[in-house]
Amino acid sequence: ERIRSLVTLKSEAAPKVLARPEIRTTLVVVESPNKARTIAHFFGTPQRRIINGLSVWEVTTGDRLLAITASLGHVFDLVEREGIYGVLQLDGNFVPVYNSIKSCPHCGEQTTEETCSCGKPPERDKLTLIQALQRVAVQFDEVVIATDPDAEGEKIGYDLMAALKPFNPNIFRAEFHEVTRRAFTHALQSPREIERNLVKAQITRRILDRWVGFELSRRLWQVFDRYDLSAGRVQTPVLGWVIERTDLAREKKARITVQLADPETNAQVQLSFEHENLSFARKLFERLEQAQVTVVDAGEEIVNPPPPYNTGTLLADAGSFASATSVMDALQDLFERGLITYHRTDSVRVSDAGLKVAEELIKERYDPSLFQPRRYGTEGAHECIRPTRPLTEDDLRLWVSAGRVTLENQRLALRLYGMIVRRFLASQMKPAKVRKAKVVLQLGEWQQEWDVIAEVIEDGFHRVAPLRVLRVSPAMKVVDKQIRFVSKVMPFTQGSLIEEMRQRGLGRPSTYAKIVQTLLERGYVVERNGFLFATDLGRRVYQWLRLRFPEFADEALTRDLEEKGDKIEAGELDYQLVLRELRHSRLFAQR
């Protein structure tokens, strides 16, 4: 007992040795090198090393040693020559067969086969990247897969997990919707497992696209003796819309523009109206100077701001000055640089972080009293497209000029960023209070009415997203006029076609631009002066498909398959049932 007491006293009197903090080593895999580089620079100046061509950025965060690298998108895809276009039937189940993705530097094609369509073997194989990742993974305590927050990103994450699990059992998934230090750190501290239902939904959509596309395309090759033709479960119905709109655009209507002026104040406004009876429109146009103008006060009205952008609405607005593909490329660049939230989304929800960004910008750049936060829904992980920090378009332009940020398509990216910021700020401002007026143009028994905003009483969001205000007065008269004969229905633009897809439930945010681009590349559609027109080839292909396989040229089947994909994501439907239903459809009747 005496010895024990002495030992206890000595141990209590001995100086304490502080335990060294434990540093955890983490390998983070994202999709693109730009995103990897952006994240690494959140924590200082990273060290870069190259392993078998794989760039790894290493940096410390205090309690972690982070190594961040990129998968360069998908690493595996369906093979083409096994089973039914890469899907085997085993014991009553459908089993997809995957292989590493290879790219050919000669023709630019990606394939999973040993020879591409140009007849030469591909020189770049994602298997090399996988092997490099495997060699790196064993050096770390854990692997965090931080691919994009959608079904495609989940499938990439699943493939990476399957490839790296034998080399490191500690693999987790991190999800974040904006490339900022706060969002990344939060995702790193809140890891989750791979969401298998999302993976199943992606696999199902990929197989459906492969089966419908390959089988219909094979038949088109035989009939038209051309191997550059294709069809698809979304592509074909959308082609039908363009054909229908092209035909409708040939029918004409009159568009008459009148200029009204107040002789006392010299205030002038322009108003337009349309008439489908061309003969009546011509006669009316000749006598418009005799028309009586009446302006009636329609009282005050509250105008609410529009919600923030999602993929469909942003592509629709940007379609007037840029192609859908170039817009998506510029948005990808802005996202990877940490400037906007994830841009492939159908949500308009605003997170707590988004509300703080809006509040700071509105209070600093406008007027604190204008701020009125709106969430636009509270459920779901996805968010609207918004700026990730309180940075205006002018601020970003200065960053670019100073070399702080590099943008690949600088002019387009800055324009899109400005649109995103203005729309987002408007959505978080008070409504505008306006005075409305009714303008009536009357000639005999004919009359035309317009409801216009005559005055903005309280600015609200009008400060950042100006409303169209027309200073009308009862003393106005017709002082000028113009008549044009235009299409009854305007042809689609890339933006309006994507908006149509969004409204009618075809395609997904990640595929909108690709579908339009495919129609153009196949020669089914041409673009003239920003409008899309069906070609003779597009008509002949669509007519043949409509005659032989009407269900696959109709949007109802495609919409049904999209809805089933959503149910698979939610865990409400077995993906094998969806594949079995298509396998036993008329499409494969000859197999």
Residue 477 three-state SS:
strand
Torsion sign (Cα): 564, 568, 572, 574: positive
Q: At what angle do helices 555-569 and 235-249 cross, to 10 degrees?
A: 140
**Pick from 393, 412, 382, 370: nearest CA to 308:** 382
52 sits in which H/E element: none
Please state, in angstroms and rounded to a whole number, the distance separating the CA atoms of residues 150 and 202. 9
Distance between CA 48 and CA 167 in Å, rounded? 22
Instruction: Report the DSSP pairing between strands 93-96 and 98-100.
Output: unpaired
Strands of 169-251, DSSP E: 171-173
* Identity of residue 140: F
Token couple for 258: 């009148």
d(CA 202, CA 515): 17
- List residues with catalytic annotation: 342
Task: Count CB neighbours of 193 within 10 A.
Answer: 9
3 state DSSP class of 3 = helix
Place of tokens 């002949």: 540
Task: Judge whether 67 and 28 are in contact, CB under 8 Å.
Answer: yes
- Which tokens sit at 196? 């298998």
E-strand spans in 168-306? 171-173, 252-261, 268-275, 292-303
CB atoms within 10 A of CB 148: 24
Query: What is the side-by-side order of every strand in the sheet holding 47-51?
Result: 47-51, 54-60, 64-70, 24-30, 142-145, 171-173
| Closest by Cα among 569, 509, 513, 510 to 310 | 509
DSSP 492: P
d(CA 450, CA 293) in angstroms, rounded, equals 11
For 290-307, letters b (16+ CB in 10 Å) and e give: ebebebeeeeeeeeebeb
Per-residue tokens: 299? 């009282």
Cα 258 versus chain centre, distance: 39
Cα gap 101→79, rounded to integer Å: 9
